[in-house]
Amino acid sequence: MYDTNISITDFHYYHWWKNPGWGTPAETLKKVRLFSNSDEFANTPPVEGALDGVKALKEMGYRLEIVTARTTQHKPMTDKWLAQWLPGVIDNVHYTGEFEHHPSAGVPPPPQPEKKFTKADILTIIGAKALIDDSIANALLCASVVPVLVFGDYEWNKRLSLDETAQDRMSYSERKRWEEVEAKYWAEKNGGEAKESDWSNWWEREDLQTLPTNITRVSSWSQVEHRMDMSTAKWEYPISLISGAALLLGLSILILTGPRSTPSRTRLIRPSEERVLIIGASSGVGRATAVAYAKRGALIAIVARRSALLEEVKRECIEELHGLGFTERKDAFLAVTGDFSNEEDMERVREVVKQAWNGIDTIVVAAGVSALQPIMNIVNQGGVGHAKSVALRAIEGNYVGPLVSATTMIPLLESTSKKPAIALISSLAAVVPAPTRAIYCSTKAASLLLFQSLAMENPHIVFTNIIPATIEGDFRASAVDGGNVREELKGALGKEDVAQAIIHGVDAGQRNVWMPSTMRVAPLAYWLWPGFVERKATKKGHANLLCIVPIFVYVTPKRTLGCDFPIGHRPAKIIFSGSVGQLKRQVKRRPISPTITPVKMPPYAPILRASLRTKPSNGHVAYIPQIKKLVFEYCDTWSSSARLRGYLLRHTERLARENPHVEVVVRQRPFRSPIVRGIYLNERDKVIPLNKLEPSSIEQKVQLLLDSSGAKIRSFKRAVESTTEGARGMWSGFHQGSEEFKI
């Protein structure tokens, strides 16, 4: 119709007028409208593999819905296309009308004034679990709501397609000419010669190098099936899922929908039907865990090397089961003697469990060994060879055992459970070193990292790491180095409490369970004040760290914009008031001083080392910028913040880099107009509204705050005269005077 020859590789941007063959924004919109009303639109087939892929998702039990930027004016043609290509597959279609709201396309006021929701809003309302979309912009804006699969190895989803500047609104041919003129101008100014490569592929300069961790690229529908099957295929009842547009054809976006929250594990697996394997259950936490599961009526299999102790645990658990009324239950309890570091023993355990229960749901790895002496003491007792043999025994008990048991059971676990889970009893010593525990700390750290890596390699299995401080019991009697056992430990955790935490953590799908919960800041304390933590640990051990953890204040924004770093928790801010001795005294007293506010910290939030910075000082050739902080506040849903969101995505990093003396903060201001706030050295602040401002205007406002001081704003009561003619303007009877102030 238009005598063009366009291939899919010619679509460099999601806004089509930026690509060759489309013309201006208005011309592009006209072409799109004509095509959407033509027979060619309805007869355009989906991309390769889409039909089978969508049907496969449906067969997995997902509820599939579409969210599109079209208006309801396109509903007849969309319904016709879906009826032809996807009959009975799509459960619902949501029209946001965002496409018609584009200001640069010359569109008249939207025909749907009731339109209030973006795609992210709809995903939240319908309870989305995932999004499949070919637009990187949609992926970035919705990643905080749901996990996103970016579909297709396409040029247009390698970069953002913004509509902020005059260059963004140019057609492809206009932009190409502009880039050529710009390149030649700068080449001439710098005394060089411009080459065609300087302007021919300008879009490649805007490629996104990194994406948030919640966004994954998939190149085909087979990969989509694999991802979705990995994450939820084991759920044996229909569950709604939201996924985004996978470009079924060049104009539309397909979206699949469902409940956002993951079904409770206890709904999928009833506690009385849960099949639990506990490795290392003859004593300590393993034994307490077996008894706790027996009180829930679960099917239990225990494994340990000491058969006599296994029989004691079996009798205790059977009594609990009988007390619940399970007297006639066959194979409700299994006891198998074996070494969890021996692959033959673990294979035998697997066959026993498979034959009795035809599968397994939960594995608890509670076995391990201790080491209590400093390494050099071991060397002094029997030489380096003796230290090596002690280390090898510790490695076998703390690393090889968890490795063999987990890898042996994972195939059976993932193939037979609706919601497979593995729990590892680790230790605080795995994340914070302790004296006389060098061998123990290093081997426990190895097993913890092993299970954390296994969790990434097997995302369909829930891996829960229990990270406790000192636990009461006879665990230290298993010390491979013959160290002295100290059982009188004040403040030690109870075995039953740890067992209940294991069950709760597995049911809730927690990645890390810190005991006590304040211990989650122990790695941060060691990172900030290693010498102080080492002195405290040297005195008594990890139990002594309890007195220092309440001194921290952890501050994180709800969400951080940006495409070059993960969206999530940003670097923490630590508030430290007074000396360590004062803090200890304040912690012992109740209530805690108002200047010290303990805040619950999410586990493993990334903490970045504070950059060294010179302090302001007066004197010769010393200039102190008055501004110390810039705070951008935006709404994630209102259109008044749309330009600001684009500005932040593109310019925040540059702004912070060019102004190292200024702390740049980005935070949400839900359902409020966007603003930028400058905070100065004298603690005054100045606020400028950014409602619907262009990026260039935003840049001017920001520069105004950067150049300003903390002085109080004063009003000038002077007569003014408007320079523009009009029936109504700025006037007053005082304008007849000789002194005039023109603007």
Looking at residue 590, what is its pLDDT?
36
**Residue 67 or residue 165, greater confidence:** 67
pLDDT at 695 over 60: yes
CATH 3.50.50.60 fits 627-707, yes or no: no
Q: Which long-range contacts (CB under 8 A, 24 or more apart) does 585-592 make?
A: 587/547, 587/548, 587/550, 587/551, 588/547, 592/550
Q: Is the pLDDT of residue 63 over 70?
A: yes
- Average pLDDT of the residues in 384-410: 89
pLDDT at 1: 62
Q: Which two tokens stand for residue 44?
A: 């355009």
Determine whether 565 is exposed, middle or buried from the number of CB atoms within 10 Å of its CB (0-12, 13-18, 19+): middle
Q: Where are the alpha helices (DSSP H) in 233-325?
A: 265-268, 284-295, 307-323
Q: What is the pLDDT of residue 110?
A: 38
Q: Look at residue 410 in the predicted model and tell me its pLDDT.
A: 92
Backbone angles phi, psi at 649, to 5 degrees: -60, -35
Mean of pLDDT values over 478-484: 58
What's the pLDDT at 134?
A: 86
**pLDDT for position 646:** 86
CA–CA distance, 443 with 445 (Å, rounded to integer): 5
Share of the chain above pLDDT 90, in %: 11
- Identify the three-state secondary structure at position 335: strand
- Using the predicted structure, report yes or no on whether residue 518 has a pLDDT greater than 70: yes
- Per residue in 237-250, pLDDT (tens digit) is 322 333 333 333 33
Bigger pLDDT: 41 or 556?
41
pLDDT at 720: 59
Mean pLDDT throughout 96-111? 48
Residue 687, pLDDT score: 92
Compare 246 and 740 and report the one with higher pLDDT.
740
Contacts of 389 (CB under 8 A, 6+ apart): none
Gap between the Cα atoms of 170 and 336, Å rounded: 73
Element (H, E) at 383: helix 375-395
Per-residue confidence band for 571, with pLDDT thresholds at 50, 70 and 90: very low
Question: Residue 293 pLDDT more than 80?
Answer: yes
- The per-residue pLDDT for range 572-613, each reduced to its tens digit, is 333 333 333 333 333 333 333 333 333 333 333 333 333 334
- The string of pLDDT tens digits covering residues 456-469 is 998 889 999 999 88
**Domain with residues 266-539, CATH architecture:** 3-Layer(aba) Sandwich (3.40)
CA distances from 515 to 107, 604, 628, 739 (A): 59, 15, 39, 76
Which part of the chain has CATH 3.40.50.720? Answer: 266-539
> Where does the pLDDT of residue 408 fall: very low under 50, low under 70, confident under 90, or very high at 90 and above?
very high
- pLDDT of res. 588: 37
Q: What is the per-residue DSSP string for 73-138?
A: GGHHHHHHHHHHHSTTT--EEEE--TGGG-GGGTPPSPS-TT----HHHHHHHHT-S-EEES-HHH
What does the pLDDT read at residue 310?
85
Q: Which of 361-365, 380-384, 571-575, 715-719 is predicted with the least confidence, judged by mean pLDDT?
A: 571-575
pLDDT higher than threshold 50 for residue 254: no
Which pLDDT band, with edges at 50, 70 and 90, does 90 fall under?
confident
The answer to whether residues 558 and 570 touch, using CB atoms and an 8 Å cutoff, is: no
pLDDT, mean over the chain = 74
Helix axes 375-395 and 438-457, enclosed angle (nearest 10): 30
In this prediction, what percent of the chain has a pLDDT beyond 70? Answer: 73
Please list the residue range(s) of the chain that carry CATH number 3.40.30.10: 627-707
| Pairwise CA distance, residues 393 & 384, whole Å | 14
Average pLDDT over residues 373-388: 82
**Per-residue pLDDT at 682 exceeds 90:** no
Q: What is the pLDDT of residues 170-209, one digit of tens each?
A: 888 888 888 888 888 888 877 888 888 777 888 888 887 7
pLDDT for position 264:
65
8-197+207-228 topology per CATH: Rossmann fold (3.40.50)
User: For residue 152, what pLDDT band results from cuts at 50, 70 and 90?
Assistant: confident
- Using DSSP bridges, classify how beta strands 675-680 and 627-634 pair: parallel, antiparallel or unpaired: antiparallel
pLDDT (0 to 100) of residue 409: 92
Inform me whether the pLDDT recorded for 677 exceeds 90: yes
Q: Bigger pLDDT: 31 or 535? A: 31
What is the per-residue pLDDT for 598?
A: 37
Q: How confident is the model at residue 489 (pLDDT cuts 50, 70, 90)?
A: low
pLDDT higher than threshold 80 for residue 423: yes
